[in-house]
Amino acid sequence: MIEFINNHKKYAAYALSVIVSRGLEYFVLFYAAFYLSKEDYGELEFYKKIIELFAVALAFGLPSLLLTYTKSDNSKTHFTFLSFVYIFLLGIIITPILYFFNYEFLLVPILFHAIFFNNGIMPVFFITKSGSNIAAIYKSSVSCVFYLGIFLLLQFSDKPNLSFVNVNYFIFPLALIFSIKLFMGQNIGYRLLLKYFSLFKNYC
């Protein structure tokens, strides 16, 4: 029993981060339901679902790829970088579709969710590369900033129905700078990148 607890203790922090993230989401949604009119709340939920749907489509299978097929540090880093670029390219491809439906303003939120948020590729990168404790810190930090931003926008924005959209425009540039610095410190090599690209291409 003690051995079982010791073996699973390291996952407790990550489990807690999941609870924190989900709890913050429910708190914000309950608050929004109380604070907003039915029309504004319906629009808030609509944009939230559209963002999540497109984000899942863009990142489809990539978190599983990073969890399953990355064994060495090099593979974890290079596959994550390739996934990062791949999602950006897909974002460019779907832009005309979003523009056609007048949803082009959702591109940044979709990219943020597909790359940086809870079901994106960066949380998986941290849990495979740095372990569950670092991944828990990342997940909790991003969730706290994200939902705090939404709460403030619900309170002070003149368009609270767009809170789930507009918060991404504040966080995405910071997340982008963070990821660029992260990859610059990972010693990504051109030859290894080509090697892993051939494997990545077969997967996609």
Beta carbons within 10 angstroms of residue 71's beta carbon: 9
Instruction: Give the three-state DSSP class for 1.
Output: coil
Q: Tokens for 175? A: 């997340």
**pLDDT value at 204 more than 70:** no
Task: Give the predicted TM-score (pTM) of the model.
Answer: 0.89
pLDDT-based confidence at 98, cuts 50/70/90? very high
Over residues 109-114, the mean pLDDT reads 96
Distance from the Cα of residue 53 to its chain's centroid: 13
Distance from the Cα of residue 129 to its chain's centroid: 16
Contact 157, 120 (CB under 8 A): no
Which of 13-27, 51-65, 187-201 comes out lowest in average pLDDT? 187-201
Query: End-to-end CA distance of the chain, in Å?
Result: 42
pLDDT-based confidence at 1, cuts 50/70/90? very low
Over residues 16-33, the mean pLDDT reads 89
Over residues 168-190, the mean pLDDT reads 90
Q: What is the pLDDT of residues 7-22, one digit of tens each?
A: 455 667 777 888 888 8
pLDDT in the model for residue 5:
45
pLDDT-based confidence at 159, cuts 50/70/90? very high
pLDDT in the model for residue 17:
81
Distance CA 14, CA 185 (A): 24
pLDDT in the model for residue 166:
97
Q: Output the CA torsion sign for 82, 85, 86, 87.
A: positive
Q: Tokens for 3? A: 């051995």
Beta carbons within 10 angstroms of residue 121's beta carbon: 25
Residue type, 152: L
Distance CA 181, CA 69 (A): 25
